[in-house]
């Protein structure tokens, strides 16, 4: 067994990516079990066949990168590996109802006892952002209204921060050359119920 403890931490981004590919190639070629310790979330997803998330010395979730990212079992796992918008309320059985009465639906198979405290996680890249005139049919998607408070440009993508009911939600949008939304602009956020991860309280 090979233990690698933050082996790429001192490298610049371009070299780090090249070394990730090379390390994976060597590991596959030799066929040795490797434990790779890292605090870099992207690196964990890129390098791993299986990921384990530790909290206070305890394993809180273990699985494939896709499983951990797409179906976190706790708010901690959702926000530790990648970014997530957390919405809290009361379970409706297959979703949650927010304190203002807004219903958020989760995908088929998501079940919790109705009436129990619960939350849901939605990845920023799964949210779509519209001006009001372009808003989708709320019957087929989860919909929230808010106001843009800030935009951060990051080259191939932009992150919009949207204020809603005292909470800031993040939306990651690919920069395709389309018009930018202005700070203070009213917007509508929409996403598929299948992108909603239902999480039991506690």
pLDDT at position 170, please? 97
- Closest by CA position to 55, among listed 83, 39, 76: 76
Residue 86, CB half-sphere, CA atoms under 13 Å: how many? 17
Contacts of 103 (CB under 8 A, 6+ apart): 92, 95, 96, 97
pLDDT of 186 higher than 90: yes
Say if residues 161 and 151 touch (Cβ distance below 8 Å). Answer: yes
Say if residues 189 and 171 touch (Cβ distance below 8 Å). Answer: yes
Contacts of 173 (CB under 8 A, 6+ apart): 129, 157, 158, 159, 160
| pLDDT tens by residue, 84-105 | 999 999 999 889 999 999 999 9
pLDDT at position 1, please? 87
What are the boundaries of each domain within the chain? 122-192
The CATH number assigned to the domain with range 122-192 reads 2.40.50.100
What is the DSSP code string of 26-50? HHHHHT--EEEE-S-HHHHHHH-SS
Instruction: Please give the average per-residue pLDDT across 132-141, as a whole number.
Output: 67
Q: pTM of this prediction?
A: 0.85
Say if residues 104 and 95 touch (Cβ distance below 8 Å). Answer: yes
Paired tokens of 32: 């040795």
| pLDDT tens by residue, 146-163 | 999 999 998 889 999 999
Say if residues 172 and 159 touch (Cβ distance below 8 Å). Answer: yes
Q: Which residue has the higher pLDDT, 113 or 62?
A: 62
């Amino acid at each position: 067994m090979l233990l690698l403890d933050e082996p790429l931490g001192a490298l610049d981004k371009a070299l780090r990516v090249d070394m990730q590919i090379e390390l994976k190639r060597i590991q596959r070629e030799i066929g040795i079990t490797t434990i790779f310790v890292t605090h870099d979330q992207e690196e964990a997803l890129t390098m791993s066949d299986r990921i384990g998330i530790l909290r206070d010395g305890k394993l809180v979730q273990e699985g494939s990168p896709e499983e951990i990212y797409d179906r976190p079992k706790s708010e901690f796992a959702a926000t530790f590996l990648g970014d997530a918008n957390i919405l809290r309320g009361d379970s409706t059985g297959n979703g949650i109802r927010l304190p203002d009465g807004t219903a958020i639906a989760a995908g088929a198979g998501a079940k919790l006892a109705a009436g129990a405290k619960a939350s849901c996680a939605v990845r920023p890249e799964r949210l779509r952002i519209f001006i009001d005139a372009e808003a989708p049919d709320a019957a087929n998607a989860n919909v929230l209204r808010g106001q843009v408070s800030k935009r951060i440009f990051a080259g191939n993508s932009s992150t919009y921060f949207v204020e809603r009911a005292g909470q800031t939600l993040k939306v990651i949008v690919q920069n395709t050359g389309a018009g930018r939304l202005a700070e203070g602009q009213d917007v509508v956020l929409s996403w598929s119920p299948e992108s909603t991860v239902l999480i039991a309280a506690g």
